[in-house]
Structure 1
């Protein structure tokens, strides 16, 4: 485990540089980003390729949805396998299966096979996609000391924002009209390469904690994990509804192209806020920070309902992003403290799946409200999702403050490599 002895290493923007200078940290951060870049690329690449080959955007949407849903369902179970048998084994196995699934998907699309064949291939692809974001956070928990963990999670959040800023642009560049399969092929290469390198990064491999009965306690059995899952679902709903409100706002003013600009501004606000949040050595409990950030997240969505011009909406979009990374960082740090030590891969996978489910629900509800009413209705729906996260984090304070279950505090550790 990397140890930071100097007190100054826990605060300031220099904390990121000090973290990355630690032996192996830069390698882990870079290849972890490579491995999860496809998160922001697969759906768009799938939509672009299928619509280009078949001419049906509807079929493309069905196939992309099948891939996303199967990934969300399978991720916690893959995380559980990683906790029991090591991340290394799961990453190496799933990246091979993912390459096969992607090859089947590309073949089915290229040969214009029936819709059910493309869906079947998409299910294989999704079921072999681990929650790379969750796996990386579990690795940082094993790689750095407690004082540097906040900085590591803040850096992960910043990298996530960067990925969602650049990923759609990258897949668009790699999927020209002459070769629309380029985006999905790049996704497969990035996933396999990132998975292999991270899997072989032995110094960050999480240790397995053994319970007296012989296997780690399940993360899903811990009340604190349930509280964070519900809070993340509420946050995800806000993210999805707010994204729709940005797109609807641009369409209402006959400038649909500016919807992407507004979404990028949200990501910029989140990125800058995450950078600042991670540089501060907070002296208040993480459970209290979750409440504060959830409150700011909710309040920042409200001005979106009143914006009437692009400059005003652009400002509000940046404002709406300022609490995103801090809220997710607080949630990640809390999860590390409440989940069983040997079940972090599973725990983070559950959190990401609930967040993804919330985003999908927010997009669906926000899209309906935006179509039947205005972009303001979608923004109000987002605020409701944030309110759910706030209420859950408030009600769950007693559970979140308890910390890790007693049975998992001093477990007998077994090296995951064995």
Structure 2
């Protein structure tokens, strides 16, 4: 009989086990609530501009400006979190963002377009970096294990709820009252969710010690071919999302069904949520890079039916197919970025990934707004973005494979200076 005690069983990789871990449900729920303005504001701005007489031709770029400004400021806010902690960044950003969204209806897009543009840009710049913050917290919340793999998949997949609840809520509030009410609701929800996260002990205590050695490698890694090409490919993924949002609004106007502007993005995000839940239930064979390429190809194939379908019910069902692979693309991109990122700069690394998606989303929104009068061209833009993403990923495959070979799948480095709560 062996005198050695048997090893403790590894935590079950179930979502119930993830959510029962300390602070996980609170942080995930607060992040989702605080990020609702990301799903609500672009649609609400587009509908508000159109209702106020500005039209989709001005509302599309204005909506894109919010997403673009939010994305461009992500690396700066990530660096600030690395240096000063999360609460010091989250709370001031949320206060400013909510205030600006509340004041936007006072700016007439017809008589004062410059003022409306300035408010939208400032609101986007001050959106709190909750997604990157939650990603940086996972190493201090859960040990490297199947449990963390499930948590990361749940995190990535559940972010789709922002784009299910957000556009639907905007569509309902606009139909019942006005787009101004939708903007006010976005401001209130963003502030409430951010406060839940920023006041949680793991977020308040989280801090990464800065060092010259940590800063130097980050600059070199961000210029590495693999990471640069990965980020470039994600702009194509974001382009597809942005083009879809405006295409949904034009579809609603063409068929005279206002709720389609929220239902179509919600169907896409529902597919994303389901795909993420399925992906996180098991450990898949192959490397993260191989999974990323396979998911990118499936994401592209999922967009092609939009070119042949014309009726709203069939189109609504069809957009759930590429949505199902979006979470896998983003989740594998996070894993690859984690492999390439140096210690001590995790928030900034994740922020650059979010920036890439956001820039692409803004470009897709702007171009789709300009082509709103051409149904076939508007419907083809999401597939165009997915094709660009896959082409860049295939080009980057050798560099990505070399970068991700250092660590086995499912393991993540714990940043220096992070503390378990």
Tell me, yes or no, whether TM beats 0.5. Answer: yes
| TM-score normalised over the length of structure 2 | 0.81
1:316 aligns with 2:318: yes
Hey, what does 2:416 align to over in structure 1? 413
Q: Deviation of residue 293 (structure 1)?
A: 0.3
Report the alpha carbon displacement of residue 174 of structure 1 after superposing the two structures with TM: 4.4
Q: Which residue of 1 aligns with 2:4?
A: none
Give the structure 2 partner of residue 117 of structure 1: 115
What number of residue pairs does the alignment pair up? 403
- Say which SS state the counterpart of residue 107 (structure 2) adopts: helix
Distance in 2 separating the partners of 1:249 and 1:182 = 23
Alpha-carbon separation, structure 2, partners of 1:361 and 1:178:
30
TM-score, normalised to structure 1, is: 0.82
Most deviating of 70-79 and 389-398:
389-398
* Separation in structure 1 between the aligned mates of residue 363 and residue 109 of structure 2, nearest angstrom: 33
CA drift of 1:317 comes to 2.6
Instruction: State the partner residue of 1:144.
Output: 142
- In 1, Cα distance between the equivalents of 2:61 and 2:266? 26
Q: CA deviation at 1:27?
A: 0.9
C-alpha change, 1:321 and 1:94, in structure 2 (3 Å) is closer
| Residue matched to 1:357 | 359
Tell me the CA shift for residue 297 of structure 1. Answer: 0.8
The range that moved more, 272-281 or 122-131, is 122-131
Cα distance per residue 1:277-302 (max 9 Å; x no partner): 11111232111110110011112222
Shift of 1:69: 2.9
Shift of 1:314: 4.4
- Following superposition, the deviation at residue 79 of structure 1 comes to 1.3
Show CA shifts across 1:229-275 (max 9, x none): 11211112233345555666676667675565444332222221111
Alignment-derived partner of residue 36 in structure 1: 35
Query: Pairwise CA RMSD of aligned residues?
Result: 3.6
Q: Distance in 2 between matches of 1:293 and 1:63?
A: 31
For residues 410 and 141 of structure 1, what CA distance do their matches in structure 2 show?
A: 7
Q: Distance in 2 between matches of 1:214 and 1:328?
A: 25
Matched ranges for 1:13-412 at <5 A: 15-49=14-48, 54-57=52-55, 63-102=62-101, 104-105=103-104, 108-109=106-107, 114-147=112-145, 148-174=147-173, 181-203=180-202, 206-208=206-208, 210-213=210-213, 215=215, 217-218=218-219, 220-243=222-245, 258=260, 260-307=262-309, 309=311, 312-366=314-368, 371-372=373-374, 374-375=375-376, 377-403=377-403
Contact 2:54/2:110 (CA < 8 Å) preserved in 1? no
Contact kept? 2:226, 2:399, Cα under 8 Å: yes
Q: 1:254 to 1:50 in 2, by over 3 A?
A: closer
Say if 2:90 and 2:129, in contact at 8 Å, map to a contact too. no
1:41 and 1:171 in contact (8 A); partners too: yes
- Give the CA deviation at 1:341: 3.1
2:276 counterpart SS class? helix
For the structure 1 residues 6 and 403, does the alpha-carbon distance in structure 2 shift closer, same or farther, using more than 3 Å as the test? farther
1:62 deviation in Å? 5.8
Structure 2 unpaired stretches of 5+: 1-7, 407-411
Contact kept, 8 Å, 1:230 with 1:354, in 2: the verdict is: yes
SS of the aligned residue for 1:322 comes to: helix
Give 1:400 deviation, angstroms: 2.4
Structure 1: runs of 5+ lacking an equivalent: none
